[in-house]
Amino acid sequence: MVQATSAVLSKNTKAGSAVNGRDNGAAENVVIDCKIDNLYYGKFRAVRDSHIPVQQGQITAFIGPSGCGKSTALRCLNRMNDLVRGFRFEGHVHFRGRDIYHRSVDPVAVRRYIGMVFQQPNPFAMSIYNNVAFGLRLNRVKGDVPERVEKALRGAALWDEVKDKLKNSGLSLSGGQQQRLCIARAIATEPEVLLMDEPCSALDPIATRRIEELMVELKKQYTIAVVTHNLQQAQRVADMTAFMYVDTSQGARTGYLVEYSKTEAMFADPQEEYTKQYIRGEFS
Ligand SMILES: Nc1ncnc2c1ncn2[C@@H]1O[C@H](COP(=O)(O)OP(=O)(O)OP(=O)(O)O)[C@@H](O)[C@H]1O
């Protein structure tokens, strides 16, 4: 089943490119085309009308006030919301032109192509080495495991700090190192896309800058989508930015996409009033 799905997902076709907002360039390089018409948790409509493309080799930031659906939208991209009871989705998510919500697609295989790093560093209670090797074994990745572990740790800019203590617990590392270990675990299986849900929110400014530098380095090899509360972070790392807001007009709090554009353009010349206010810090 996983193999069949992998074959379907790896077929290299280009996704659709219709995008709301102004000219955002390079739309034909879309790797994930995410169009959320409606997304529900039980009866609650959490997100509506959000069309967010993720472009090849770029960093796309999801910004907006608390509760506008940034994490929900991000988790749609690799079917992490499937794990939530009552989750219901209307729309599509096309990965290289293929519908990842199609009934023939195994969500576990999707996550092999579209990996994820969470807000809180969450290393397993096992050695540094095994934290990285675990994902390889789980996904039955073939090849030289020690070599791949080293490659992933190097890719996450952690190798020099841990190469002499690979048998130590992953939990013995600092918060920033733990997050880089989680990034190593995520890239060990060589996904195409890396989703990062507020990866720096639990880190101090120095560890945050380290992760930001790493993200810029990683985008040479991976496409990245990141949720962040930190507008400066979005400006520093993101090529494209999606700004979401909360619609309270129907008596509920439903998130939606207000504006999507090149990051530079959004911060220099936001097109929508809510975007302007958010960027000016008038609400958070
Ligand atoms: N597992 C869930 N079950 C039910 N409702 C949920 C679940 N996860 C999120 N929600 C709701 O969906 C809405 C969007 O939440 P989400 O976490 O995606 O927003 P966010 O913009 O990422 O917020 P924050 O910046 O505070 O993390 C919120 O109203 C939230 O309460």
Ligand 1: nearest atom to the Cα of 255: 14
pTM: 0.90
> Distance from the CA of 17 to the center of ligand 1, in angstroms?
27
Q: How confident is the model at residue 27 (pLDDT cuts 50, 70, 90)?
A: low
Pocket lining: 48 vs ligand 1, CB cutoff 6 Å: no
> Distance from the CA of 62 to the center of ligand 1, in angstroms?
14
Residue 122 has pLDDT above 60, yes or no: yes
Ligand 1: nearest atom to the Cα of 229: 25
Instruction: Please list, in sequence order, all residues whose beta carbon lies within 8 angstroms of the beta carbon of residue 205, skipping any fewer than 6 positions away.
Output: none
In the chain, where the domains are located: 30-280
Q: Using CA positions, which residue lies closest to atom 1 of ligand 1?
A: 84
Tell me the mean pLDDT in the region 53-72. 97
**Tens digit of each residue's pLDDT (9 = 90 or more) over 127-137:** 999 999 998 88
Tell me the mean pLDDT in the region 77-83. 94
Tell me the mean pLDDT in the region 5-25. 43
**Tens digit of each residue's pLDDT (9 = 90 or more) over 176-233:** 999 999 999 999 999 999 999 999 998 899 999 999 999 999 999 999 999 999 999 9
Q: Is 139 helix (H, G, I), strand (E, B) or coil?
A: coil
Predicted local distance difference test score (pLDDT) of residue 143? 81
Instruction: Please list, in sequence order, all residues whose beta carbon lies within 8 angstroms of the beta carbon of residue 280, skipping any fewer than 6 positions away.
Output: none
Q: Using CA positions, which residue lies closest to atom 17 of ligand 1?
A: 71
Q: Which of 62, 63, 71, 256 for a ligand 1 pocket mutation test, highest count of atoms within 8 Å of Cβ?
A: 71
Predicted local distance difference test score (pLDDT) of residue 3? 41
Residue 26 has pLDDT above 50, yes or no: no
Structural tokens at position 46: 């959490």
Which CATH topology does 30-280 take? Rossmann fold (3.40.50)
Pocket lining: 284 vs ligand 1, CB cutoff 6 Å: no
> What CA–CA distance (Å, rounded) separates 123 from 222?
21
- With the C-alpha atoms ordered 226, 228, 234, 237, is the resulting torsion angle positive or negative? negative
Mean pLDDT for the chain overall: 89
Q: How confident is the model at residue 241 (pLDDT cuts 50, 70, 90)?
A: very high
